[in-house]
């Protein structure tokens, strides 16, 4: 997911170089990227990032398993679109953690989405519902 990866790339670069000038130059774009993930990437408002190809020529699966028939249920049935693959949720969670550190370095805050991924995948209630 490019918006989440943008945030992670900025975080890794800042941690490696310590370049606060670079961080300040790109922080607003990173904030817009994480906001897009949270607001536009979560199509059904369940806390998970989903994707669905809208172009007849685009890839059906937009994760590392990009073959058209690669994402299936345990019984072999093809999963319906939109998809919310676990690796996509991992990128988003890591991006939230990265943004929390970047914003803290600038005296700002961000909500971290702890617990969101576990609920739909394992039937565990989100942290705010325990």
Calculate the CA dihedral of residues 122, 125, 128, 129 and round it to 10 degrees: 170
Q: Is residue 71 part of a domain?
A: no
Contact 105, 13 (CB under 8 A): no
For 113, the domain range is 2-49+84-129
Closest CA to 45 of 96, 82, 74: 82
- In this prediction, residue 7 carries a pLDDT of 96
Q: Is residue 16 part of a domain?
A: yes
Give 64-121 pLDDT, tens digit per residue: 777 778 888 889 998 888 888 888 888 988 998 899 999 999 988 766 555 555 555 5
Q: Is residue 111 part of a domain?
A: yes
pLDDT of 123 strictly over 70: no
Quote the number of domains for the chain.
1
Q: Is residue 41 part of a domain?
A: yes
Q: Is residue 101 part of a domain?
A: yes
Q: Is residue 66 part of a domain?
A: no
Q: Is residue 69 part of a domain?
A: no
The pTM for the full model equals 0.78
pLDDT of 1 strictly over 90: no
- In this prediction, residue 130 carries a pLDDT of 47
Give 7-31 pLDDT, tens digit per residue: 999 999 999 999 999 999 999 999 9
Q: Is residue 57 part of a domain?
A: no
């Amino acid at each position: 997911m490019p918006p989440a990866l943008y945030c992670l790339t900025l975080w890794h670069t800042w941690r490696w170089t310590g370049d606060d000038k670079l961080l300040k130059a790109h922080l607003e774009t990173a904030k817009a990227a994480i906001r897009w993930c949270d607001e536009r990437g979560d199509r059904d408002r369940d806390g998970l990032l989903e994707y669905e190809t809208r172009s007849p020529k685009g890839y059906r699966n937009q994760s590392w398993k990009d073959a058209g028939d690669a994402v299936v249920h345990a019984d072999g049935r093809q999963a319906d679109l939109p998809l919310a693959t676990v690796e996509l949720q991992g990128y988003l969670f890591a991006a939230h953690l990265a943004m929390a550190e970047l914003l803290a370095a600038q005296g700002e805050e961000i909500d971290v989405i702890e617990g969101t991924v576990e609920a739909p995948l394992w039937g565990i209630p989100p942290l705010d519902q325990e």
